[in-house]
Structure 1
Amino acid sequence: MKRSDFIRNSGLLFGGSLFAPGLSQASVSGGGILGTGPTFQLDYAPHQGMFSTSAGKNFLDEIKYMYDLGFRSIEDNGMPGRTIEEQTKVGELLAKLGMRMGVFVVPKGGNGANTLAAGKPDHVDIFLKGCRDSIEVAKRVNAKWITVVPGDYERRLPIGVQTANVIEALKRGAELLEPHDITMVLEPLSDTPDLFLRFTDQAYEICKAVNSPSCKILYDAYHQQKNEGNLINFMNQCWSEIAYVQVGDNPGRKEPTTGEVNFKNIFKWLYNKGYKGVVGMEHGMSKGGKEGEEALVKAYREVDNF
């Protein structure tokens, strides 16, 4: 599933209005159909739409419902596409509940149309504008991480030149982000072989070269199970540059326990490693409706019980 399809299908941008009319379908203060749950050992972060059957289409109600279920962070890749008013209200609610904002995607932060690998000044300018815009969004929702994908290969250039072009662009982005304590996290993806950034060690090499606390790795276990496997070993080798983790089982990109990945072992390893960051639930759901919501929570309770 391509990132653009995932965002669209999940309703991350506009699928559910923050200001949907009426009350939520469940009492968020009472926990709704699933009841109030304890917090998890790791900080799993759902996204909008995962509990819309029980909580309704109002994003604020859904965040409260997530809190009642025991979640303490959220993700919203499309946060920059929301209005300033929406962003502000989300930030205020998260602060009130003591929840964290996970990643959102830097607008046009690098894609097939303006790949950073090409070394073109106009492409870099688009990326830097995305960083500046993201700083303002991050202030409203108190975000500390923003996702950057460098874009596609520029196959007319040698790989070393492409890598240097990406590093130089990211250095300029990091200079903008460092004063605001914001970290761009580079995400190796598996969507297409045309993508420049696909492997953990490749991202590690780039982050070491950028040499900034504002340029680290977003390790998505779904993509890396497809690209390279050997998940714990690669995470361990590149651990110093990993600042954020996302998950989705493979095949299918659904919740843990639906595919081949042993997430209980992975989460135990993360916990023992001392990971205190967010674990983004960037995946779909194996079932719809309330049954799917219950299955989702049950799956995370199961893999969190290590």
Structure 2
Amino acid sequence: MNRRSFVKNHILAAGALGMSSGLWAQSARPDASGKTFNLDYAPHEGMFANSAGKDFIDQIKFMHDQGFRSIEDNGMASRTPGMQSKIGETLAKLGMRMGVFVVPKGGNGANTLAANKKEHIDIFLEGCRQSVEVAKRCNAKWATVVPGDFQRDLPIAIQTANVVEALRRGAEIFEPHGLVMVLEALSDTPDLFLRTSAQTYEICKAVNSPSCKILYDIYHMQKNEGNLIVHMNQTWEEIGYIQIGDNPGRKEPTTGEINYRNIFKWLHEKGYKGVLGMEHGISQPGKAGEERLIAAYRECDAFL
């Protein structure tokens, strides 16, 4: 699975197309006042490379100037320990939070927890141990886990029990450090074991640990199940983290069919204080596209 590089690749592709029309540039200037949003949206590396330059630390500072108070970095575990610490120190100085990073080898098509194979579980548990050290350096609280593919020669109930047992062992590693693995159901391929919010809720209940919660990715769940607010409400007590992306296209809010203003209003009324990861691409190229991205979040965040 190559989901870690999805956002970065989409953003770089948009930047390579050059500047968009002057109309976009004139209608979507960023808010330089540093006014914070009503909810805590978290951009990724590369999302503002045209505005802030290629250095990630400079991008984080630019994000703060625009009112963002968190970041995400799926590939944090692949960075050098020195860079992990530098990012953590920068966030601390700016009063920002670190959102999710992906547990290394936490589950994929070649390493599925549903199979109950010792070699797969060992890889997953080693990734959990590595994640604890990464989290210490960058002040992270959440780490994404995808259990991998179906093991289609086993009954679904047996596969579910296998996933639960593996995740319990992972939670035992995370709990003493206050780190939470958030389970993400995806829509990328029908081979994936974890597909819906109800299924993820069932697994979290069975693991029964404060270190195992739901990552509700609105983009993926719109594709897999729809009825977003109803499903979030049904699984609310196990939701630990939320990610954003409009559908179709997986770009910023206002570009697809999802009414993000209503969803953000509902989350605010629900009392959600967590991070909302901006795990999506940008619909317009260049600096003007980045300005439009900020404007889209300002529009959807204006629900009060």
Q: Does 1:173 align with 2:198?
A: no
Aligned counterparts, 1:17-56, within 5 A: 35-56=32-53
In structure 2, C-alpha distance between the alignment counterparts of 1:229 and 1:289, rounded to whole Å: 32
Flag the 1:131–1:188 CA change in 2: closer, same or farther, 3 A.
Answer: same
Residue pairs, 1:49-68, within 5 angstroms: 49-68=46-65
Task: Give deviations 1:221-249, integer Å, cap 9, x for gaps.
Answer: 00000000000000000000000000100
User: What TM-score results when the alignment is normalised by the length of structure 1?
Assistant: 0.91
Partners of 2:143 and 2:179 within 8 A in 1: yes
Tell me which residue corresponds to 2:277: 280
The alpha-carbon distance between structure 1 residues 48 and 197, as it changes in their structure 2 partners (threshold 3 A), is same
Instruction: State the one-letter code of the partner of 1:236.
Output: N
Q: Which of 127, 142, 151 pairs up with 1:154?
A: 151
Matches within 5 A, 1:99-114: 99-114=96-111
Structure 2 counterpart SS, 1:35: coil
- Answering whether residue 6 of structure 2 is matched by residue 9 of structure 1, we say no
Give the whole-Å Cα distance in 2 for the aligned partners of 1:234 and 1:107: 29
Are 2:67 and 1:74 aligned? no
2:254 maps to what in 1? Answer: 257
**What's 1:291 paired with?**
288
Give, in whole Å, the separation in 2 of the partners of 1:223 and 1:2: 15
Which amino acid is the alignment partner of residue 9 of structure 1? N
Task: Tell me how far apart the structure 1 counterparts of residues 7 and 135 of structure 2 sit (CA, whole Å).
Answer: 19
TM-score (norm 2): 0.92
Query: Quick check: 1:96 aligned with 2:93?
Result: yes
Q: After TM superposition, what 4+ stretches of structure 1 lie above 6 angstroms from structure 2? A: none
Q: How many Å apart are 1:35 and its aligned residue?
A: 2.0
Correspondences of 1:190-201 after superposition (within 5 Å): 190-201=187-198
Alignment equivalent of 1:228, drawn from 225, 232, 238? 225
1:133 is aligned to 2:127: no
Residue 207 (str. 1) matches residue 201 (str. 2):
no
Q: CA RMSD in A?
A: 1.7
Stretches of structure 1 lacking an aligned partner (at least 5 in a row): 13-31
Instruction: Name the CA distance, whole Å, in 2 between partners of 1:202 and 1:228.
Output: 11
Q: 1:36, CA displacement in angstroms?
A: 2.8
CA distance in 1, matches of 2:7, 2:106: 15
2:30, 2:186 → 1: CA distance? 36
Aligned-residue offset at 1:177: 0.2
Q: CA deviation at 1:37?
A: 2.9
- Aligned equivalents of 1:4 and 1:97: distance in 2? 25
1:118 corresponds to: 115
Q: Distance in 2 between matches of 1:113 and 1:55?
A: 38
Aligned to 2:141: 144
Is the Cα–Cα contact under 8 Å of residues 106 and 127 in structure 2 kept in the other structure?
A: yes
Corresponding residue SS for 1:254: coil
* Offset, 1:7: 5.0
- Counterpart of 2:298, as a letter, is R
Letter in 2 for 1:186: L
SS in 1 for 2:241: strand
Give the drift of 1:301. 0.1
1:50 aligned counterpart, secondary structure: coil
Q: Equivalent pairs: percent with the same residue? A: 72
Superposed, 1:231-250 pairs within 5 Å as 231-250=228-247
Pick 1 or 2: higher relative contact order, CA cutoff 8 A, min separation 6.
Answer: 2
With over 3 angstroms needed to count, the CA separation of the structure-2 counterparts of 1:10 and 1:77, relative to structure 1, is: farther
* Cα deviations by residue, 1:20-39 (Å, 9 ceiling, x for unpaired): xxxxxxxxxxxx97523300
Deviations 1:3-58 (A, max 9, x none): 1550551589xxxxxxxxxxxxxxxxxxx975233000000000011111010001
- CA offset digits 1:157-210 (Å, max 9, x no partner): 010000000000000000000000000000000000000001000000000000
Give the length in aligned residue pairs: 288
Cα distance in 1, alignment partners of residues 279 and 233 from structure 2: 22
Question: For 2:246, what is the secondary structure of its paired residue?
Answer: coil
Paired residue type of 2:205: K
Distance 1:33 1:201 in 2: 38
Q: Secondary structure at the match of 2:295?
A: helix
